A and B are shown apart, each in its own frame.
Chain A
């Protein structure tokens, strides 16, 4: 395992989960596509970041004390100018444990969830499903043992009840299947590689459109270290 990956895991172990900037870095080390973002600690840098990414952007709190960012009011979406961004920065900077914000590209498309967890009977498994806020209600997911091939990834996607949302339902835009499959397969390899360290990972949402499949947020929970 690369030294940098170990450093990221070590740093996260102290809090039990990995903060988003580190999680994004980890994913990039495994060649997984994440939305364009900057982690900034001043209002000026936030404005520069937005200029680089282009409006609209999303801002998210970075804090070791806040795992559920939305619940804590730590996410602002659809920010479309400098003024709104400055205000968002000021709001977020007042949250507990503030360690800067992420200025993130606002990707559009169909929201998927791709996750991994350690199953006691089957080892690492990867879950893929139609995402969004209702994911826990509809539970339209496919679960496959990791690692898996392109064929299994395709088969898993087509087994979803909502699979037609991905292939272009009633004139809707079909997602870039090749990039999505690529993302799933690489993610399944990451899951196996990090089996000993990781309890579960949520890539939620993964934004899929005709051009791209991009990870817009990631939550990585670490296994509790056995104290012997």
Chain B
């Protein structure tokens, strides 16, 4: 099935507009797209008339011109007929926002939609979903724009079985300065599911990392996911919910009792090369890190820190994550020392972790970072920066970014995230470097680069 009409439509019909209730989801979707997005937008209600001066069409067939994407926000029992109408009028695909299908026991209604779609090779997203956010073409989320943060333009695509989690992740990625290419809320995935969209996004020039929130694959689709991963060119980060068994059943075989649904999932996903995040924070860290440095591995790191405690914590984190803290040759220590500022030379500890101490300033961090990025025995630098230290300035992000670019090796920075330090953080993020909220988060980011590759 062709997904372009859904993800990059030139025209959009919103079916189910209300003539009396401005908070109706269809109205929010219509106005949002009409005012802010590129797709030519029409609204449909059987009663016709006008909405703020725009014509309301009585049916899909009455809309002048070709419709790429129809957004259906109507009662569930009216959906099959609307899908038929879309197919008759050669609409490119449909997004069913409405709930009231399998999730409320109306599997029959959902099957009816699926059968129609498959028979006519007609792509359908949903039902029971928020639909698609794919700027600059469309945004079918029925959430008023002023209530949301505005996502940054970028290369992370998100797919989610839950609309709520999807919006949360978009907010969190935006807060971390991570840009988004497209996101799809797949809802009940009656027709198009995460696997179809993974194939689409894997060849999307705007996307270089794919994040997936999943409760579970449909029957047998887990195997298709593994097949997808075998040829995927983009890294996939995955967050799963529903890991704990809902109820205990008596199982009389060891295999069945040990290899529960989640243990199987975890093992197979790890083998597939996808990266499973254990929680939302990890998910965001992984997406951020891979969006900055997608093609590298970071098996041996150099930790550069302003505090011994932070260095020790990062060291422990690396050890537990199977990341090597590189051994620094004595000659190199001797060579680096005189390049540091006088006050630091005497007190710095130059065995990895490199503790430049609280006396260190921008120049010391810049010098040490450049020194180690140049070395073959270092794949990446973890920089633990404390912006409250007197000799550190807001220029540091831009300076470190310039040297990271020069050597094309990842530099992951930790900095405490409070409003006061926003300028420090943005100095890194706006120059394409990932910044973690915690020392542990910085280690996660490095770990993400070392996922298994097939």
Instruction: Please judge, given known A-B contacts A122-B223, A122-B264, A143-B268, whether A127 and B253 are in contact too, CB under 8 Å.
Output: no
Asked if A120 CB lies within 8 Å of chain B CBs, one says: yes
From residue B271, how far is it (CB to closest CB) to chain A in Å? 7
B258 touching A145, Cβ below 8 Å: no
Asked if A33 CB lies within 8 Å of chain B CBs, one says: no
Chain A residues touching B, majority SS = strand
A141 CB contacts on chain B under 8 angstroms: 258-259, 263
Question: What does the 1/0 interface line of B261-293 toward A look like (CB < 8 Å)?
Answer: 101110110010000000000000000000000
Asked if A212 CB lies within 8 Å of chain B CBs, one says: no
Q: Interface with B: A45-53, A93-101, A195-203, which one? A: A195-203
From residue A34, how far is it (CB to closest CB) to chain B in Å? 18
B220 touching A199, Cβ below 8 Å: no
Which residue of the partner chain B has the closest CB to A135? B254
Instruction: Please judge, given known A-B contacts A201-B255, A221-B252, whether A143 and B264 are in contact too, CB under 8 Å.
Output: yes
Asked if B418 CB lies within 8 Å of chain A CBs, one says: no
B259 touching A122, Cβ below 8 Å: no
From residue A140, how far is it (CB to closest CB) to chain B in Å? 10
B254 CB contacts on chain A under 8 angstroms: 113, 115, 135-136, 202, 204
B223 touching A135, Cβ below 8 Å: no
Query: How many chain-B residues does the 8 Å CB contact rule pick out?
Result: 24
A133-161 residues with Cβ-Cβ distance < 8 A to B are 135-136, 139, 141-145
Asked if B219 CB lies within 8 Å of chain A CBs, one says: yes
Bound: A127/B259 CA distance, A:
7
A122 touching B258, Cβ below 8 Å: no
B267 touching A115, Cβ below 8 Å: no
Asked if A32 CB lies within 8 Å of chain B CBs, one says: no
Chain B residues touching A, majority SS = helix
Which residue of the partner chain B has the closest CB to A16? B252
A contact residues, range: 20 to 34
Question: What does the 1/0 interface line of A107-125 toward B look like (CB < 8 Å)?
Answer: 0000001011101111101
B264 CB contacts on chain A under 8 angstroms: 119, 121-122, 125, 143
Bound: A123/B264 CA distance, A:
10
Centre residue among A67, A127, A143, A201 by max chain B CB count within 10 A? A143
B224-279 residues with Cβ-Cβ distance < 8 A to A are 226, 252-259, 261, 263-265, 267-268, 271
A116 touching B261, Cβ below 8 Å: no
A113 touching B255, Cβ below 8 Å: yes
Q: A116 touches which one: B222, B255, B268 (CB < 8 A)?
A: B255
Bound: A127/B268 CA distance, A:
11
From residue A15, how far is it (CB to closest CB) to chain B in Å? 13
Asked if A129 CB lies within 8 Å of chain B CBs, one says: yes
B222 touching A117, Cβ below 8 Å: no
A117 touching B261, Cβ below 8 Å: no
B252 CB contacts on chain A under 8 angstroms: 67-68, 221
Asked if B371 CB lies within 8 Å of chain A CBs, one says: no
Instruction: Please judge, given known A-B contacts A143-B263, A145-B223, A145-B226, whether A122 and B268 are in contact too, CB under 8 Å.
Output: yes
Bound: A120/B245 CA distance, A:
14
Bound: A145/B271 CA distance, A:
9
A121 CB contacts on chain B under 8 angstroms: 216-223, 261, 264-265
Which residue of the partner chain A has the closest CB to B222? A121
Bound: A201/B253 CA distance, A:
7
A135 touching B258, Cβ below 8 Å: yes
B258 touching A127, Cβ below 8 Å: yes
- Give the 6 A-B residue pairs with the shortest CB-CB distance, closest first: A115-B255, A121-B222, A143-B267, A122-B222, A121-B217, A200-B253
Q: List 20 interface pairs A-B (beta carbons < 8 Å), by A numbering.
A: A68-B252, A115-B253, A115-B254, A117-B259, A119-B259, A120-B220, A121-B221, A123-B223, A125-B264, A139-B258, A143-B263, A144-B267, A145-B223, A199-B253, A200-B256, A201-B255, A202-B253, A202-B255, A204-B254, A221-B256
Binding site for A on B (CB under 8 A): 216-223, 226, 252-259, 261, 263-265, 267-268, 271
